């Protein structure tokens, strides 16, 4: 147990040291890394599938609604929350599609009325009974344009796992969101 704690402490110390070196410029001064905005849970997303997803490919609609907040922005302190969402038609979709990698594009409307349009790569994994979807990309237009985006969406995977086994359907998925937009 003590050896495990020492190993964990050593790994954490190494990671913090590497992060500190990354943030320092060649002369030891801080680089221009700016945390444009961070939004943490209870930020959430709800995706609703009509008809519900099964293992049989079906056409239908996907309605997504994301609420971001509380949000903290160093570069734009007036931003404290945001939202995104819409409805799209999907063709031949199954519950296995929830586990696929791909691309995502979405626009966040901030409480200030400003928008950020984001283009990202998406990966999905199931770990410890949770579906974890990670979007990594860039703000392509609007406030924070050119900044790096990391959005992690986490939800229970029970319905998805049952569906992939042919034992159920997925009518909706409720998730918690962590969003970070960072200027380098």
Q: What is the domain range of residue 6? A: 1-30
Q: What is the pLDDT of residues 96-116, one digit of tens each?
A: 999 999 999 999 999 999 999
Model confidence pLDDT, tens digit, residues 51-101: 999 999 999 999 999 999 999 999 999 999 999 999 999 999 999 999 999
Tell whether 50 and 103 lie within a shared domain: yes
Quote the number of domains for the chain.
2
Do 125 and 176 fall into the same domain? yes
Give Cβ neighbours of residue 164 (< 8 Å, ≥ 6 apart): 55, 95, 96, 99
Global pTM reads 0.80
Is residue 133 within 8 Å of 153, Cβ to Cβ?
yes
Cis peptide before 70 (omega within 30 of 0): yes
99 lies in the same domain as 173: yes
Q: What is the pLDDT at residue 154? A: 97
Residues 65 and 18 in one domain: no
CA angle 61–63–67, rounded 5-degree value: 170
């Amino acid at each position: 147990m003590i050896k495990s704690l020492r190993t964990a402490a050593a790994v954490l110390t190494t990671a913090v040291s590497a992060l500190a070196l990354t943030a320092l410029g060649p002369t030891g001064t801080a680089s221009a890394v700016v945390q444009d905005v961070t939004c943490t849970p209870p930020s959430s997303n709800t995706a609703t599938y009509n008809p519900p997803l099964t293992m049989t490919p079906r056409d239908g609609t996907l309605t997504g609604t994301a609420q971001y907040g509380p949000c903290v922005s160093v570069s734009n302190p007036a931003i404290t929350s945001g939202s995104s969402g819409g409805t799209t038609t999907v063709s031949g979709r199954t519950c296995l599609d929830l586990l696929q990698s791909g691309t995502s594009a979405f626009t966040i409307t901030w409480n200030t009325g400003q928008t950020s349009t984001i283009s990202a790569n998406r990966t999905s994994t199931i770990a410890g009974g949770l579906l974890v979807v990670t979007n990594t990309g860039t703000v392509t237009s609007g406030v924070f344009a050119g900044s790096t985006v990391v959005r992690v969406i986490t939800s229970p995977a029970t319905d998805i796992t049952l569906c992939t086994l042919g034992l159920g359907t997925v009518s909706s998925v409720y998730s918690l969101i962590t969003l970070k937009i960072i200027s380098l």
